[in-house]
Structure 1
Amino acid sequence: MSQQLTKAQVAEHKDEANGIYIIIDDGVYDVAKFLDDHPGGAKILKRVAGKDATKQFWKYHSKQVMEKYGPKLKIGTLKEEAKL
């Protein structure tokens, strides 16, 4: 279940058919099944699909939100990539 993904792999998942992946901190989350339940609407999640949404997430959510929904949506972690 838990896998390591690169930023490029996360970027490939931007639609419901392939999964809508977002990065928060070093976690990778598939929010495709959460679109209808997101209080802010699906549009916001689709806007950050395939991207690092850390800044946006923590601007509007508390640690309790991550504790409640994170384990259900987390599919892996962000793989460290060599910096050139």
Structure 2
Amino acid sequence: MSKQFTVKDVQEHNTPDKGLYIIIDNGVYEMGGFVDEHPGGAKILKRVGGKDASKQFWKAVLKKYQPRLKIGEIKESAKL
């Protein structure tokens, strides 16, 4: 079972110093150690830090690096 995060948890990790987290298709990824390796450059990762980057993130890069970067999933909201 993977670790569960809230959107607020991810928002609090919005810089490389805080542990740069992003959301891609409800998965949570820690990108702080990947900033210098990212094919699109550090600037784009810093811009989406703490946010949902599903639309911006290139899926081919995700497939290659997912095992190393994925740290958990977004918790589902309680349904009433």
Shared fold (TM-score, shorter chain, > 0.5): yes
Residue equivalent to 1:45: 45
% identical aligned pairs: 61
Residue equivalent to 1:72: 68
Q: Distance in 1 between matches of 2:35 and 2:16?
A: 9
Q: Distance in 1 between matches of 2:48 and 2:42?
A: 10
Structure 2: 5+ residue runs without aligned partners? none
When normalised by structure 2's length, the TM-score is 0.89
Residue equivalent to 2:5: 5
TM-superposition CA deviations, 1:2-34 (whole Å, max 9, x none) = 310000110000122220000000100000000
Q: Distance in 1 between matches of 2:26 and 2:52?
A: 9
When normalised by structure 1's length, the TM-score is 0.85
Range with bigger deviation, 1-10 or 68-77: 1-10
Q: How many residues end up aligned between the 2 structures?
A: 80
- RMSD across aligned positions (CA): 1.8
Structure 1: 5+ residue runs without aligned partners? none
